[in-house]
A and B are shown apart, each in its own frame.
Chain A
Amino acid sequence: MNNIIVLPLIIPIMTAVILVFLRRDVVLQRIIALTTMIFVIGISILLLQFIQTDGILKIDFSGWLPPFGILFVADSFSILMVTTSSIVASICLIYAFSTIGNRHEDMFFYPLVLFLVAGVNGSFLTGDIFNLFVCFEVMLLASYVLIALGGEKIQLRESLKYVLINVVTSWIFLIALAFLYGTLKTLNMAHIAQRVAEVGQDPLITTVAILFLIVFSIKAGLLLFFWLPGSYTVPPTAVQALFAALLTKVGVYALIRTFTLMFPLNQEVTHTLIGIMAGLTIIAGCMGALSGKDVYTISTYNVIIGVGFILIGLAVNTEAGISGAIYYLIHDMVAKALLFLIIGTMVFLTGETVVKRMSGLIQYYPLFGWMYFIVLLALIGVPPFSGFVGKILIGQGTIEAGSFVLLAIGFASSIIVLYSLLRIFLASFFGETTVSEEDKKPIPKSAMLSFILLTLSIIYIGVGAESLSPYVQDAARTLMNPSIYIDAILGEGL
């Protein structure tokens, strides 16, 4: 029964390998890729149900008991992330069907997306910190190729910077792992947590924790986001949406996991640092979003604001804050994917990236325009859409913890987000249309379908928050009480 935990990782990898051999048969590739993703979604929803009845599930590979072997752990938090990322990835695939073009499709686009999904799912599921590094690398290698695929001048330039920055980050990750292994002599996350709890978090362990903070901050775009705006604007729209929805969120997941489970004891240092970084991230992201003249800049800086806001929830470290962070993480994956898909389609329809040069889109594409309006409302947190519950809970968390500065920064950022996105809405959707009736391009059907699916998800997360809440509460409870996780992995005996 526990064996199905490994399926969200292994199924995409195996299908990806098969798809490599079906290079020319694009239609078959599409069908197989989408079927695989739907299967993974089904598995993860099934796992979510199992966890509610049976508690945390784990699988010890080859029967090596923890803390000796590598293991996969499925708790509510990780499976919620797996479910959301698989849903978003499959919707991005649907968008890619009609937009990505033959040039990508027969250059292994679908296998690469599946490898990316496998790496992302593996990072969410693993219970071993070295295995987390490996899954990160699987994800990153796929993303390196996806960002460079197409081979345009600007793409190659930006992808080279992206790869180099990530190589150096992985190097810092390895240094952190080396020191961690040197001090604690274990790599199993639960075992690390137990040993840290036994010996206390001395300055050396805190230093290691800060090394991990640096690594995951670069991956998540928390303060160290200098690489993000350049590299997220160059690939095709479907890939942009995948990156915006998944890659930074894996970093955020790793941060939350690391600082709730493994290094929770020295909060004056680590969590204060995360709080300061989150605040600065939001401020810098807001500046970027305000200064941007083209739609890509505005939307990438909105990703950064989102990351900062989620990590406020971690910085305050109360149960409300953490569950708010989980809600907001789920919301942000869906909403950012939709935002990037819509922005990319706007550029496709008008051939312009500068906000002021687009105009009157809503006359020809009314449904498209109102879906942009819905994602705008969701991102600023207007009920009944998806951002509302997360914002409320994170706000509650900051009040409980008494960090009013973070509260003010977080909620002031909503206004900036509103301004930056509303500017696109007013300038590009309203006004005189610049395209004549004959020249207007139709929005491809599968692209429209993906927008509708994502919009429905946004409405569901907002309206159906009640039905999500048992899972989120269980996830937050496990994160706030690491002993639940540790006992489930190591058992009572060790």
Chain B
Amino acid sequence: MESLMVLLVGVLVSVGTYLILSRNIIRIILGTAVLSHAVHLLILTVGGLKTGDVPLLGHSSGPYTDALPQALILTAIVISFATTAFLLVLAYRMYKTNGTDDVSELRGMPDE
């Protein structure tokens, strides 16, 4: 199961990297979203997949699954959600004022 997860993480990272390297802003933002999914799965995998019971006292006598990776992922998901939402708004405003969504046209001219 772990190897499968690691393969999935690898696929997601390569997809994300490919998207980030493109010139279109929306693709880049989607790429960062895919990358963040990849790292969430990575945290889950390296933390150890289901190795025991639900970590509730009284539910079973153990061994329990480590619940911490899930707490970390939850926090990271919220943060990446907020950042992606902000990025999309920023990209939209940038598109409205600069009139382009192609990053190679966003270098800035020396005469500005």
A and B physically associate:
yes
Chain A residues proximal to chain B, CB less than 8 Å: 130, 133-134, 137, 141, 144-145, 148, 151-154, 156-161, 163-164, 167-168, 170-171, 174-175, 177-179, 181-182, 185, 187, 230
Tell me whether B94 is interfacial, beta carbon within 8 Å: yes
B98 touches A153 (CB 8 A): yes
| B35 & A157 in contact (Cβ 8 Å cutoff) | no
Partner among B69, B75, B76, B87 whose Cβ is within 8 Å of the Cβ of A167: B87
- A residues in contact with B43, CB < 8 Å: 174, 177-178, 181
B63-93 at interface with A (beta carbon < 8 Å): 66, 68-69, 72, 75-76, 79, 82-83, 86-87, 90-91, 93
- The answer, yes or no, to whether B28 is at the interface (CB within 8 Å) is yes
- Report the separation of the CA atoms of residues A182 and B45 in the bound assembly, to the nearest whole angstrom: 8
Q: Are B72 and A157 in contact (CB under 8 A)?
A: no
Check if A154 sits within 8 Å of B32, measured CB to CB.
no
Interface size class on chain B is 20 to 34
- B87 / chain A contacts, CB cutoff of 8 Å: 160, 163-164, 167
Q: Which of chain B's residues have a CB closer than 8 A to the CB of A148?
A: 90, 93
Residue of B nearest to A144 (CB): B86
Q: Which residues of B contact A157 (CB under 8 A)?
A: 94, 98, 106, 108
Report B35 CB to chain A, min CB distance, Å. Answer: 5
What are 22 A-B pairs with beta-carbon distances under 8 A? A130-B75, A134-B79, A144-B83, A144-B86, A144-B90, A145-B86, A154-B108, A157-B106, A157-B108, A160-B91, A161-B106, A163-B83, A163-B86, A168-B20, A168-B35, A174-B42, A181-B43, A181-B47, A182-B47, A187-B68, A187-B72, A230-B108
Q: How far is the CA of A160 from the CA of B66 in the complex (A)?
A: 38
What is the minimal beta-carbon distance from B62 to any residue of chain A, in angstroms?
16
With contact pairs A154-B112, A157-B108, A168-B32 given, residues A175 and B90 touching in the complex (Cβ less than 8 Å): no
Complex Cα–Cα for A167 and B81 (A): 11
Could you tell me the distance between the alpha carbons of A177 and B76 in the complex, rounded to whole angstroms? 11
Mark B residues whose CB is within 8 Å of A: 20, 25, 28, 32, 35-36, 39-40, 42-43, 46-47, 66, 68-69, 72, 75-76, 79, 82-83, 86-87, 90-91, 93-94, 97-98, 106, 108, 112
Q: Across the interface, do A160 and B82 meet the contact criterion of CB distance under 8 Å?
A: no
| Contact of A141 with B83 in the complex, beta carbons under 8 Å | yes
Interface of B is mostly: helix
Q: Which of A144, A148, A181 has the most CB of B within 10 A?
A: A181
Answer whether A130 and B72 are a contact pair too, CB < 8 Å, given A167-B83, A171-B35, A174-B43: yes
User: Are B82 and A141 in contact (CB-based, < 8 A)?
Assistant: yes
* Chain A proximity of B108: nearest CB distance (Å): 6
Which A residues are CB-close (under 8 A) to B108?
154, 157-158, 230
With A163-B83, A177-B72 already in contact, 10 other A-B pairs whose C-beta atoms are closer than 8 Å: A134-B75, A137-B83, A141-B82, A151-B93, A157-B106, A160-B87, A160-B90, A171-B32, A179-B46, A185-B66
Q: Which of B36, B69, B94, B112 contacts A160 (CB 8 A)?
A: B94
Docked CA distance A153–B66 (Å):
48
Query: A134 to B77, alpha carbons, bound, how many Å?
Result: 11
Whole-angstrom CA separation of A131 from B83 in the bound complex: 17
What residues of B have a CB within 8 angstroms of the CB of A179 in the complex? 46
